[in-house]
Structure 1
Amino acid sequence: MTSEEQQSRAETPRADIRGVVRGTAPAPLSILDLATVGAGHTAAEALAATTELARSAEAWGYHRFWVAEHHGMPGVASSTPAVLIAHLGAHTSTLRLGSGGVMLPNHAPLAIAEQFGLLEALHPGRIDLGLGRAPGSDPATARALRRGAADDADEFPRQLAELTHFLDGDFPDGHPYARLAAVPRGPERPPLWLLGSSGFSARLAGRLGLPFAFAHHFSAANTVPALELYRSHFQPSAVLAEPYALIGVSAVAVPEGGVEAARYLAASAGLGMLRLRQGRPGPIPTPEEAASHPYSPAEADFLDSWLANVVLGEPGQVADGLEELRKRTGADELMVTSHIHGQQARLRSYGLIAQAYGLTG
Structure 2
Amino acid sequence: MKISILDQSPISAGTTAGQALQESMKLAQIGEELGYTRYWIAEHHDISGLSCSAPEVMLAYIGGKTSHIRLGAGAVLLPHYRPYRIAETYNMLTTLFPERVDLGIGRAPGGSAEAAIALSNNFLEQVRKMPETFKELSHFLYNDFPSDQMYSKISASPLPAVPPELWMLGTSEKSAVLAAENGTAYAFGQFMVDKSDASILKTYSNHFKSRGRLKQPKSILAVSVVCSETTERAEELALSTQLWNIQHAKGEGSKGVPSVEEAKQYSFTSYEQDKIDDMRRRMVIGNPQEVKQKLFDLKMRYQADEIMMITITHSYEERIESYRLIANELLAKHG
Give TM-score, length-normalised by structure 1.
0.88
Match in the other structure for 1:345: 318
**Separation in 1, partners of 2:30, 2:197:** 29
Q: Partner of 1:252: helix, strand, or coil?
A: strand
C-alpha separation in 2, matches of 1:192 and 1:359: 28
Q: Which moved more, 1:150-159 or 1:335-344?
A: 150-159
2:301 is equivalent to residue 298 of structure 1: no
Distance 1:359 1:60, change over 3 A: farther
**Residues 287 and 341 in structure 1, CA contact (< 8 A), matched pair in contact too:** yes
* Runs of 4 or more above 4 Å deviation: none
Could you tell me which residue of structure 2 aligns to residue 219 of structure 1? 193
How far the C-alpha of 1:237 sits from its partner, in A, is 2.8
**CA contact 1:61–1:359 (8 Å) conserved in 2:** no
Q: Distance in 1 between the 2:197 and 2:329 partners?
A: 24
Q: Does the 8 Å CA contact 2:80/2:126 hold for their aligned counterparts?
A: no
> Is 1:73 paired with 2:47?
yes
TM value normalised by structure 2: 0.95
Q: Which region of structure 1 is more displaced relative to structure 2, 52-61 or 176-185?
A: 176-185
Tell me the CA shift for residue 319 of structure 1.
0.8
| One-letter amino acid of the counterpart of residue 332, structure 1 | D
Q: CA RMSD in A?
A: 1.6
Match of 2:116 in 1: 142
| 1:173/1:112 CA distance change after superposition, 3 Å | same
Match of 2:246 among 254, 259, 274: 274
Counterpart code for 1:86: A
1:76-225 maps to which residues of 2 (within 5 A)?
Answer: 76-219=50-193, 221-225=195-199
Point out where structure 2 has 5 or more consecutive residues left out of the alignment. Answer: none
Correspondence for 1:238 among 212, 216, 219:
212
Structure 2 residue 287 is the aligned partner of structure 1 residue 287 = no
What is the count of residue pairs matched by the alignment? Answer: 333
* Letter of the structure 2 residue corresponding to residue 286 of structure 1: S
Counterpart Cα distance in 1 of 2:28 and 2:121: 34
Q: Note the C-alpha offset of 1:240.
A: 2.6
How far off is 1:80 after superposition? 0.7
Counterpart-to-counterpart distance in 2, 1:233 and 1:87: 37
**Which amino acid is the alignment partner of residue 291 of structure 1?**
K
The unaligned stretches of length 5 or more in structure 1 are 1-26
Once the two structures are superposed, residues 104-147 of structure 1 have per-residue CA deviations (whole angstroms, 9 ceiling, x without a partner) of 11111111111101100110010000100111112111111112
Aligned to 1:32: 6
- Deviation for aligned residue 1:154: 3.2
Q: After superposition, what is the alpha-carbon deviation per residue over 1:150-198, rounded to whole angstroms, capped at 9, x for unaligned?
A: 4354311111112122222232334333323212112221010000011
